[in-house]
Structure 1
């Protein structure tokens, strides 16, 4: 023993401070750190198509980031959109039209008017690969009471480019790949 007490008493006090110093706030919000929410849509091909990929969504600090990776596309430009219904059946036709909670005309992302599901175009290289990154405060993730929540909608890949003017679809052609946006466990 030392003059200040048992050597393990100091260690015990440190452990107690660490354990008790934490709040019940698991996501750290009381310390200014927001929980990172994640969701994905696994893109599978429609009948006779070969496109596959992953649309990954991450929400943090009031922004949602989309990272899209596709392969199996024909080289060239292809439209990608978020569609209303979380159903890729009937080769994507069960997904209905573009997700449009603001009831605006179809258009180009970031240039009003546009649907919140009007993401735009990706360009597939000679090997059929395409990617896209997008960050926005116009979407939320996991806020089911909100009209801005991307969860439980279909993510669609089209055969043709979006012309950004044809109403309400952008003349994007056939639905060649689809996945439902679901929260990651």
Structure 2
């Protein structure tokens, strides 16, 4: 009997370690003058979250745009209902992985001649669907019109919100 319980416990722990939790968002343009689209996925396996982002903003072809996670999963009012950058640790705005930065600081994406760009990121700082303070679900992914300067507080001087999607 003890062996059976122990075997079940080991199997449960192994299954949890390999289980995946996922979240996705579809990005839509927030301004008629700057049409755009995109998608983002977050996949958590164990403690690691892999993020994959694809953007298509033809009117921004050849330019660099900033991408951040914002506090609220609401893209209304041209993205303004998403409020500010998601910052549960109350850290200064900065560049992901360098010095001080907050959990919403994803970074810049350079768009090609057709306005397409992508970004991949792996981290143990986020979680997916856990309900913890570092959970990305229920937040918004935001595309800004300019590059993030990684210095200006609290926004990185990235300009207007041109694309938004709710992470679900």
- Relative to the length of structure 2, the TM-score reads 0.89
- In the TM superposition, residue 111 of structure 1 has moved relative to its aligned partner by 1.4
Q: Deviations over 1:4-36 (max 9, x none)?
A: xxxxxxxxxxxxxxxxxx9699xx643354211
Give 2:49's aligned residue: 64
Give 1:34's aligned residue: 18
Q: Of 111, 114, 117, which residue of structure 1 is paired with 2:101?
A: 114
Residues 61, 126 of structure 1: CA spacing in aligned structure 2 closer, same or farther, 3 A cutoff? same
Give 1:151's aligned residue: 137
Mapped partners of 1:85, 1:23: distance in 2: 40
Q: Which runs of 5+ in 1 are unaligned?
A: 1-21
Q: Of 33, 41, 47, which residue of structure 1 is paired with 2:31?
A: 47
Superposed, 1:1-185 pairs within 5 Å as: 29-32=12-15, 33-48=17-32, 49-73=34-58, 74-75=60-61, 76-144=63-131, 146-182=132-168
Q: Deviations over 1:105-126 (max 9, x none)?
A: 1100011311100001000000
Secondary structure of the equivalent of 1:70? strand
Q: Which runs of 5+ in 2 are unaligned?
A: 1-6
Aligned positions, number: 158
Q: For the Cα contact (< 8 Å) 1:51–1:72, is it kept in 2?
A: yes
Q: CA RMSD in A?
A: 1.8
Secondary structure of the equivalent of 1:31? helix
| Greater C-alpha Rg | 1
Q: For the Cα contact (< 8 Å) 1:29–1:35, is it kept in 2?
A: no
